[in-house]
Chains A and B, each alone.
Chain A
Amino acid sequence: MGRLLPILFAWAALTGCVAGELRDLTPREVRLGLPRSSEPRPLDPPEEREARGFLLGTPLTEVGDDGSVRLEVLLAGSMPRLARVRWTAEGGVLTDDGLTATLVPDGPWMVRAELLQAEQRVLDRISMAGEPGGIPVTATWNRLLVGRLPAGGELEVVPPLVDGAMTPGQTVSLRARLPDGTTTPWSTATAGGLLGAGDLAPWPAARSCDDVAFPARIGTGHVACGADGGLTTFRSRTRAEDLALVRPGSQPEPITPPAGASSVVEGPDGGIVVAGEYLGGWRDDGTSFARFLGDRAVRGRPASDGITVAFARADRVEVGAWDSPARVQLPARPADVERPVAVGFGWVAIVEGRLGHERLRLQDTAGRRSATLATTLRPREPGFAGTWAWWLTADGLEALSLEGRARIRSPVEAAPGRPAALDDWLLTARRGSGLHAVHLPTGLTAELPTGGLTQLRGAAAGRATTAQQPADGADRLVGWSTALRLFEEDGGATSGSIPRQRAGGHGGSTGVLLPEGERTLRFDPGPGGGTLEAWISDLPGPWAAIEVTVGGPDTTGIRATPQASPEGPGRWVRLTELPAAPRTPIARRIVDLTWTAGPEGGLIDAIRLLPPQLTR
């Protein structure tokens, strides 16, 4: 052995060197007989182009307790050379500091911000007007709804709800009591109501999955553990392959995501799962698909707004339709955090930078406009709700309207987990106990007691799910529902009595909004006609009846009721087809809408018109 050892070492060193050199020179695919795969070239860091204008159409405003107005503009890029923002104001005293300014108003005011280059060339100009005492409206909260009313007005539900909930078959109406004592049938109400306290539906176990994110509310159902969809499955040893989608009134649908997948986000016909190498989805009929994404791992959890899916990689964010192989590649350096990206309504929010120095960047999905929010430190859990973008910081919840105007900072110590939007309300769990709700259009906040440590597990369609751990009790899931749910997307300004169609709205790509003060929806479908749909909530039991009459001076009225849908409630349900208009002057069509309460609550959900090109 004494002589063999040196020989052994020499031989090993020799063959080791030769073999090592050869292996290094040979591509891995050749060595293993695999097809060659071409890894995409790493994208360069996102280039911060010089801004040619502002990101949003108006300055962002925050009203301070002392009545002062803090204004902020976002540049669609970096500050150009030799440029600055010039602030001018009427109706108050303005002090400015670069991208921000503070106005102390003394009456109706108007502020203008100009992006000025070389003190001469105005690259962009935006302005905003307001009045002291609130921007843009006064809001009143009757613990169910927030209404926009003249100061001193009140919002009433007639007849009053017993214990904050409706009874089956009950019909209610809203009226506003104005400061002079007069009433009006319905003033402006916000989209959706706040969660009621009397609608708890507890399940015994809150933590029953191998992933801390599950069980979770996805759309109108839950992604639960166990192929039987039980929410009480013993929490250990449950793998992603054992997930199931549970919807009210239907059998659990086992989910068969790609192996190793654990992230689920909402898609239009089911869920999307993004694994390290695979993007997968499933539909209600049990079919599923998985698409190879490449060898490089996806960072954090994916994001979706129901139509678009986005996920982060180390050098980019990929955005695309959930069932399309085409994806836009946005150069980015997403932070390696649990949720580095959010997508919604044409925008992407990306948490960028290394840990401890994260910043939030807003970018449109086309990659044309982007802005880094310099004043936001260590953002996390970004998301979108309607035209609002929101995120958490160490100090609380922040949100800004992508249409400009308002920026909200609501101090709250947020518990782990993602905030969730419930129509116009943004909910987040408080550290310790309770839910914190922010009414996005007005900034009103409300605290909802829960009991015990609380994690928010998603909210949609008038329902929210929390996981709770009472101090001396067993973990459990709790379902919350809104007592009264009304949909009128806030900010849906009308032109006369014709509602403006806009991107966004309640889960749809084209929303049609109820006009103010009436129960009559009047809209112009345009020459192309389209499909009129209603959103039916997920409340169990018989559906709330919706009756639609479409008519007008030139047409016979069409009476339509929701057609039975295999998808069950909690879906967009087709009401009727609106034919294309003749080439004559556009017909004026009137839709009359009445509704009754379902067994567990009242509802009237969004109505939308899908133009023919978007009709499935």
Chain B
Amino acid sequence: MTRQRAGLIVLCLAWFGVIAMFAGQGARPLWLMAGWITTTGPGLLAAIAVLGSAWAWGRPMRRWMLPTAGAADRIARGIVDCTLGLVLLQSVAVLLGTVGLLTVPAAWIVVGSGLLPLFAGPDDRPPATEDRGRPFSGWWIAAAALLAPALLAIGGPLLAADEGQYHRRFVEFILTHGSFPADAEDAPTGFAQGMHALGTLGAAIGSIGALRPLAFLMGLGGILMGERLAQRLFGRLAGGPYLLIVCGAATALRVVPTFNTDLTLAPFVGVAAWLALDWAREPGKPAGRPWALALVGGGALSIKFTAPLFLAPLYLVVAIPLLLKPVAGRGPALARLAAAAVIPLLFALPWLVKNQITAGHPLWPILGMDAPSALEAAFVFNLTANYGPGGGLEAAARAPWDLFALGREFDRRLYLGRFNAWPLVALPGLFLALRRRPEARTIAIAAALGFVLWAGPLRRAVYLLPLWPLLAALTAGGIVEMMRLIPQPALNPASVAGAILLGAVATAEAAAPWSAHADLAGVACGEQTLEEAAEEAIPDARLLRWLRENTQPDETIAMLWGWHAWDLPNRLLWIGAEDFTPLRLRIHRAGSAEGLKHELVDRDVRWIVHRDVLFLRGAYPMVSDDQFKQAFTQPLHIADEALNRYATRRFAHGPLTVWELDRK
């Protein structure tokens, strides 16, 4: 694009904006648009700034390590640049946070140091042979339509799963203290730090409103990388169906605008797959790929400890041909691969070491809870309760059916989300495609391994999101392959019908999240405050507002069976979800109402938030009746008795109550 054309476009846009605002005064959509620019726009700009800085840092890194990577694909190259740059920014931010220096000025310096050379830097001219594809086909417009409401949701309050209880508070803690939380009574302490450090960079130069846009753009990067992979593996025809498949999934659409650590891993997995493909072509000539893989793996591991479940299979599919075929340079290549597999641990060290120091185990609170030996089964992460259909071989084997076909019921009853059924439909076509495309086998094996690993311990749709673009790319390949079976005379009508079917299914899948995102239009466009939006979104909002207005920020709040905290500035103890394992363990150790009171007094608690909860006996088949009584029923009773005897109820809203501890 020439400067003249860019200037003309900007002028036109500005002119249309002015016309829209003045001529259409009172017309709702135009005011919403104006409101979106001023409300959500700044956060989006801050996120763009972070990614721009990452791109600026990542470009020279890629040129240095991977001079030929993505030579024919400008988009994939850009995503690789951004991802490598994100790893760098993230690592710097984590290191700064580890030494307590991740402050607002530091964030400005980190981000700005990338932006400044970007303004003056030379353009990355594409080679003459570049395949630009058809970026604005109907498929893209359909996918954009599916994703459009997410532009509203990125301006919404951070109240999605885990955002309100952990993610936002984590970032706010960093912004306030310049370091990561180290309070063994507060669950965010155990979280990986990478995504939150990245989010802090955005929030520091913008506001907390930059978190969702940043995650959204990273998720889009993952989706886009999947599209490039689909085209690379199965040809240009696979790109279109891929877009509708990947965007036509309810869980993906729900999660993409939220500040999460799942879909934001997708670009890392996608780039790793891209690199693995490159490497698999010439196994004996790794060049800089091992180091790039190590960086990508480290970045992902720094975001989420389950990243190896999806990245390890990619390392494996690179290793397999090296192990099976006697190629030149095999030894050094394997050595570098091993190094690439180990180096990511270095990125996670700050977080693992901190957990070890703070809570006594690197993977706390997943491990190292120190439960009584007779009750260990009752104080572990419970697959049956957390992940609906439960763990075990049978449940894992049923996972594809549950995930792709069980439908809305699965989503609503168990809150696990779902994807569309296309992977099951396209499976035969995928097998056909793999016969003809050896390159695709590499990714298919890695994706299958990743899926199996997910189906064991994770089994929650949202946890599969890092792999979803790869799965969708393979699915698109399978569909394209099946289309090839159709005789030529019927191919065109069948293609049109197939496209319509894909679109219809995607629309149906997207309806619920689309509607949920559209509900956030008010707040995204500045016509509703975040508090008002929160009040509509969560039953806890009135209680949280009460706490904000009536407690001092330096007072400690104990959350008994509570999982929403949103923007509370207070120190919070025992916030949790699902099984509340740390809290149950704490109460079990306290042993009685008096004991719990002493625990609360010792921790200088003044306020207690209590939620009426009930643990269902049938959800815990792995524990005996006596274990259930000791680990689930009794803690509830002890908590109730402690409040009844030693606290005064000050506020109630629905099942939530606020109590003031009597410290006399």
Chain A residues in the interface with B (C-beta under 8 A): 1-9, 11-12, 14-16, 18-20, 22-23, 26, 28, 30-33, 207, 209-213, 234-236, 262, 297, 300-301, 336-338, 354-355, 380, 394, 413, 415-417, 431-432, 453, 469, 471
Contact = CB atoms under 8 A, between A and B. Distances in A.
A394 B654 contact: no
Contacts of B645: 413, 431-432
B14 A11 contact: yes
B637 A471 contact: yes
A234 B3 CA distance: 66
5 contacts: A2-B123, A2-B124, A18-B21, A236-B612, A416-B659
A431 B643 CA distance: 9
A211 B549 contact: no
A19 B34 contact: yes
B38 A20 contact: yes
A5 B52 contact: yes
A5 B118 contact: yes
A4 B18 contact: no
B127 interface: no
B118 A338 contact: no
Contact of B21 (A22, A207, A301, A337): A22
Interface residues of B, number: 63
A58 B348 CA distance: 76
Given A18-B17, A210-B612, A213-B652, 19 more contacts: A1-B124, A2-B122, A12-B45, A20-B38, A23-B35, A23-B526, A28-B527, A31-B35, A32-B31, A210-B539, A212-B652, A212-B657, A336-B546, A336-B549, A355-B550, A415-B644, A416-B643, A416-B644, A453-B640
A236 B48 CA distance: 42
A1 B650 CA distance: 56
A236 B637 CA distance: 17
B164 interface: no
Contacts of A22: 21, 34
B349 interface: no
Contacts of A7: 6-7, 10
Interface of B: 1, 3, 6-7, 10, 13-14, 17-18, 21, 25-28, 31, 34-35, 37-38, 41-42, 45, 48-49, 52, 55-56, 78, 115, 118-119, 121-124, 526-527, 539, 542, 546, 549-550, 612-614, 637, 640-641, 643-645, 648-657, 659, 662
Given A2-B121, A19-B21, A26 B31 contact: yes
B37 A12 contact: yes
Contacts of A23: 31, 34-35, 38, 526
Contacts of A16: 37-38, 41-42
- The 6 A-B residue pairs with the shortest CB-CB distance, nearest first, are A19-B34, A416-B649, A20-B38, A31-B31, A355-B550, A338-B652
Contacts of B31: 23, 26, 31-32
A204 to B, nearest CB: 14
A276 to B, nearest CB: 8
Contact of B25 (A8, A26, A235): A26
B118 A2 contact: yes
Of B42, B52, B654, the most chain A CB neighbours within 10 A belong to: B654
Contacts of A28: 527
Contacts of B118: 2, 5
Given A211-B654, A262-B654, A336 B550 contact: yes
A205 to B, nearest CB: 10
Contacts of A6: 119
A1 B18 CA distance: 25
Given A432-B644, A469-B640, A394 B662 contact: yes
B644 A19 contact: no
Contact of B26 (A33, A211, A416): A33
B644 A453 contact: yes
B612 A212 contact: yes
Contacts of B651: 300, 336-338
Nearest to A314: B549
A510 B115 CA distance: 80
Most buried by B among A1, A7, A209, A453: A1
A540 B394 CA distance: 54
A415 B641 CA distance: 10
A18 B35 CA distance: 11
Contacts of B78: 1
B664 to A, nearest CB: 8
A9 B662 CA distance: 54
A212 B17 contact: no
B2 to A, nearest CB: 10
B35 to A, nearest CB: 6
A20 B3 CA distance: 28
A19 B657 contact: no
B655 A380 contact: no
Contacts of B121: 2
